[in-house]
Amino acid sequence: MYKIAVLPGDGIGPEVIREAVKIVRRVAEIFHLGFELKEAPVGGASIDQFGTPLTDEALKLARDSDCVLLGAVGGPKWEKVEYEKRPEQALLTLRRELGAFANLRPARVYPGLLEASPLKKEVAEGTDLVVVRELTGGIYFGKPKGIEREAGGEERAFNTEVYSTSEIKRIAVKAFDLARRRRRKVTSVDKANILESSILWRRVVSEVGKSYPDVKLEHLYVDNCAMQLVSNPRQFDVILTTNLFGDILSDEAAVVTGSIGMLPSASLGNHHAIYEPVHGSAPDIAGQNKANPLAAILSAAMMLESTFQLYDVAREVEKAVETVLGEGYRTADLHRPGTKLVGCLEMGSLVEGHIRK
C-alpha cells in the first residue's frame, strides 16, 4: 500500500490536485496498485479553519506518508496575516520537517508550446534543463535573523546565508547523479566573487565533481547565469544552486519555456518527498475551471517515478499528457488560435482517458 498525503492548499491548488488525484486513481485501477490517499488543509485553507497554516495533524499525516502531493498555498486574503502565520510558512515547515533538501525543477519546452515563450523561437527551442535547488538551508533558514530596534530608534533587519560542507555535498551528489541520467553537465551557480558561503560552495562542489569524471562541471556567478538563461538557455542541463538563487533562477527558467502551467517539481529528502506544481495558487483564476492541471499531473508522474519507482507507469502518464497536447487541447494559459480550449476538469479527463497499460 502506497501512502500519499494530499494537501490541496489554496487558490487553484484544489482544482489541479483533484485532476492529479483522478490520474493516480486511474493508474491504480489499470496497473492494479494500492494507493492510500489522505487529505488535509494547508496554507490559507488551514488558517481559515484552524488559525495556523500547518496543523500538527497535517504535519503528522505528511510524516506518516511515503510522500506529499501538494497544490499551492497563499493568496491576497492572507497577505495581512502576521509573518509567522502566513500560508508560505506551511511550505517552509514541511520542507524542513520532512528533510526535503533537494528541490528538482525541470524546465523544458514542450513540442507545440514554443509560441508561448516570451523569447525568440530560435533561442527557446530545445531548452531542457533541471534546476537542482538546495531547499532546507541557506538564507531561508540561517540564524541569526530578525528585525531589531536600535538605541537611536532606527530598525535593523538581518538574515544569514550559511552552508556547511555536508549540506553542500549531499545536494551536489543529487545533481551529479541526475546529470548522469541526462546530458552529463552540471552548472553550479554561486556568488563566489563576493560571498564566503559561495566560496565554500564552489570548493565542495568541485570536490564532489572529482568523483564524476564523466560529468562536465562548470561554475557560473548568479548574475551571469541569470543573463545566460535568457540568451542561451539550451547550454544548460543541470543547474545546481543554493536555496535563494534557486528560487529566483527556477522562476526565470520556467518562464523561458513558456509553459509555467506545465512544470512539475519534486522536493526529495532521505525518507520523504513533496511533489508540487511550480505555478503557485493563481488566485485570480481560482474556482473558475480555468487552471492548467498538467503541472500537477506531471508532479504526480514524478511521484510515481521517484518515490514509488514505477518508471513505466510514470512514462504512461507523461505520454498521455503529450498525446492530449498533440491533439491540440489547451487550457486558457496556453490557448492559441488553432488549438482547442478546454477547462481544468476536461483536461484532466482527457489525460485520464489516454492512460493505457
* Active site amino acids: 140, 191, 223, 247, 251
Q: Are strands 128-134 and 102-108 parallel, antiparallel or unpaired?
A: antiparallel
What's at 84, amino acid-wise?
E
- Give, as ranges, the residues between 236 and 255 that touch ligand IPM (CB under 6 A): 247
Q: Can you tell me the distance from the alpha carbon of 15 to that of 24, in angstroms, rounded to the nearest whole number?
A: 15
Q: Which stretch binds ligand IPM (CB under 6 A): 27-35, 84-92, 176-184, 233-241?
A: 84-92
**What does each C-alpha distance from 229 to 126, 181, 197, 249 come to in angstroms?**
13, 22, 23, 8
Nearer of residues 136 and 349 to ligand IPM, judged by Cβ: 136
Instruction: Single out the residue of 130, 19, 136 nearest to residue 69, CA to CA.
Output: 19
CB-CB neighbours of 169 under 10 Å: 14
Cβ 171 to ligand IPM shortest distance, Å = 15
- At 326 the three-state DSSP class reads helix
Q: Dig out the grid coordinates for 182 from the structure.
A: 541526462
Q: Which is nearer to ligand IPM, 88 or 128 (CB)?
A: 88
CB nearer to Mn ion: pick between 72 and 186: 72
- Nearest distance from residue 187's CB to ligand IPM, in Å? 19
Binding partner at 88 among Mn ion, ligand IPM, none, C-beta below 5 to 8 Å by kind: ligand IPM
Considering only residues 2 through 61, tell me which ones interact with ligand IPM, judged by CB under 6 A: none
- Per-residue binder mask for Mn ion (CB under 5 A), 241-270, x = binder: ------x-----------------------
For ligand IPM, how many residues bind (rule: CB under 6 A)?
4
Nearer to ligand IPM, 247 or 318 (CB): 247
Q: How far apart are CA 303 and CA 297, in angstroms?
A: 10
40 is in the binding site of which of ligand IPM, Mn ion, none (Cβ under 5 to 8 A by kind)? none
Q: Does residue 91 touch ligand IPM according to CB under 6 A?
A: yes
CA 233 to chain centroid, in Å, comes to 19
- C-beta nearest to ligand IPM: residue: 88
* Cα-based distances in Å from 150 to 29, 154, 158: 63, 5, 13
Cβ closer to Mn ion: 10 or 352? 10
Residues 74 and 48: beta-carbon distance below 8 Å:
no
Binding-site partner at residue 91 among Mn ion, ligand IPM, none, CB < 5 to 8 Å by type: ligand IPM
Coil, strand, or helix at residue 129? strand
Cell of 40: 488535509
Tell me how far, at minimum, the Cβ of 328 lies from ligand IPM, in Å: 31
Comparison of 5 and 215: residue with beta carbon closer to ligand IPM: 5
Q: How far is the CB of 82 from ligand IPM (least distance, A)?
A: 16
Distances (CA, A) of 218 to 188, 195, 269: 6, 18, 25
Part in contact with ligand IPM (CB under 6 A); list of ranges 16-24, 88-96, 179-187, 194-202: 88-96
For cell 493563481, name the residue: 282
- How many Å is the maximal CA-CA distance in the chain? 71
Query: Hey, how many other C-beta atoms are within 10 angstroms of the C-beta on 317?
Result: 27
CB nearer to ligand IPM: pick between 92 and 123: 92
Tell me: does residue 316 bind Mn ion (CB under 5 A): no
Q: Is residue 280 a contact partner of residue 296, using CB atoms and an 8 Å limit?
A: no
- What's the burial of 156, exposed, middle or buried (CB within 10 Å: 0-12/13-18/19+)? exposed
Is residue 276 at the binding interface for Mn ion, with CB under 5 A as the rule?
no
Piece in contact with ligand IPM (CB under 6 A), picked from 86-94, 159-167, 207-215, 252-260: 86-94
Look up residue 218 and give its three cell numbers.
562548470
Which of 25, 37, 52, 88 contacts ligand IPM by CB under 6 A? Answer: 88
Binding site for Mn ion (CB under 5 A): 247
Binding site for ligand IPM (CB under 6 A): 88, 91-92, 247
